[in-house]
Amino acid sequence: MGIIKAKKLVHEYIRRDEEGNAVGINRALDDLDLDIQKGDFVAILGHNGSGKSTLAKHLNAILMPTEGTLWVNGYDTKEEEHIWDIRQSAGMVFQNPDNQIISTIVEEDVGFGPENLGVPTEEIWRRVDESLRAVGMLEYRSHSPNKLSGGQKQRVAIAGIMAMKPKCIVLDEPTAMLDPDGRKEVIRTITELNKQENVTILLITHYMEEVIGADKVIVMDQGKIVMQGTPREIFTQVEELKKYRLDVPQVTELAYELRKSGLAIAEGILSVDELVNEITRL
């Protein structure tokens, strides 16, 4: 069994009016099946409201299934007594770095998670060191987080999660509030954690360019998984993606248009280099 496995997972939100009366139901996850293997880097795409954040919240046992079952690291998320095992197995990183940083000194912030888990002090400092080094922020250990850039703050937030030694990190649009440099820093950091520490990564994003380095891409629509494959397999299906109101990376789109206009360019171009090669070849 994979590190994350969902079987017919359903989540229904109760819709309420201003007085709090139930007026309807939003089925945000609809019989969703999922199996993610340890060490995978999985990107999750989907139009607004497709259920991505709802799924992320289930992985951290913030939300419970209405129907069906979800296992995280072998624990059924409905089992109350394993809630901390689950939260320790799958760490969450959210969109806004400012909401995730609580301390006034970087290293204290990173040590906060393991301290809460009751890790002995010496071990906490070892983990703080190791995690800050892994995200390239060791030299900022005694700085104040509010002086850091958005990208640096997100890397500190990621270090805080790493310090709890999770098997899996779930990131819900971690780059949405960052500038292009900050976005690159964060993606580089999580890619390295995946490759070097073998941490399973689930990256929810609206930026197509961030998906290219993933092992696997999942496309969600209306609470279901509607496409699954390698980035190349997914981005080859331009029309299908448009059906789910998604774009492809700009260079893929350009290659697709050139191909449609009659040039014999290979399908599923993902980078500028690949496109240049194709054009030179012609």
Ligand X SMILES: Nc1ncnc2c1ncn2[C@@H]1O[C@H](COP(=O)(O)OP(=O)(O)OP(=O)(O)O)[C@@H](O)[C@H]1O
**Rule CB under 5 A: which residues touch Mg ion?**
52-53
Q: Is 174 in the site for ligand X (CB under 6 A)?
A: no
* Residues 22-41 close enough to bind ligand X by CB under 6 A: 26, 28
Binding segment for ligand X (CB under 6 A), chosen from 47-55, 76-84, 131-139, 225-233, is: 47-55
**Residue 13 binds which entry of Mg ion, ligand X, none, with Cβ cut-offs from 5 to 8 Å by kind?**
ligand X
Which of 51-59, 70-78, 225-233, 237-245 is the region at the interface with ligand X (rule: CB under 6 A)? 51-59
Instruction: Please name the residues in contact with 162: beta carbons below 8 A apart, sequence gap of 6 or more.
Output: 91, 127, 130, 131, 134, 135, 169, 193, 197, 199
Q: Are 212 and 234 in contact (CB under 8 A)?
A: no
Least CB distance from residue 185 to ligand X, whole Å? 22
> What number of chain residues touch ligand X (CB under 6 A)?
12
Q: Residue 52 or residue 155: which is nearer to Mg ion going by CB?
A: 52
Check residue 21 for interaction with ligand X (CB under 6 A): no
- Strand spans (E) along the chain: 4-16, 22-36, 41-46, 67-72, 75-76, 90-93, 168-172, 200-204, 216-221, 224-229
Residue (53 or 236) nearer to ligand X, CB: 53
Q: Decide if 86 contacts 72 (C-beta within 8 A).
A: yes
Q: DSSP letters of 109-155? A: HHHHHHHHTT--HHHHHHHHHHHHHHTT-GGGTTS-GGGS-HHHHHH
Is residue 48 within the footprint of ligand X (CB under 6 A)?
A: yes
Q: Which is nearer to ligand X, 13 or 244 (CB)?
A: 13
Q: Which residues of the chain form contacts with ligand X (CB under 6 A)?
A: 13, 15, 26, 28, 46, 48-54
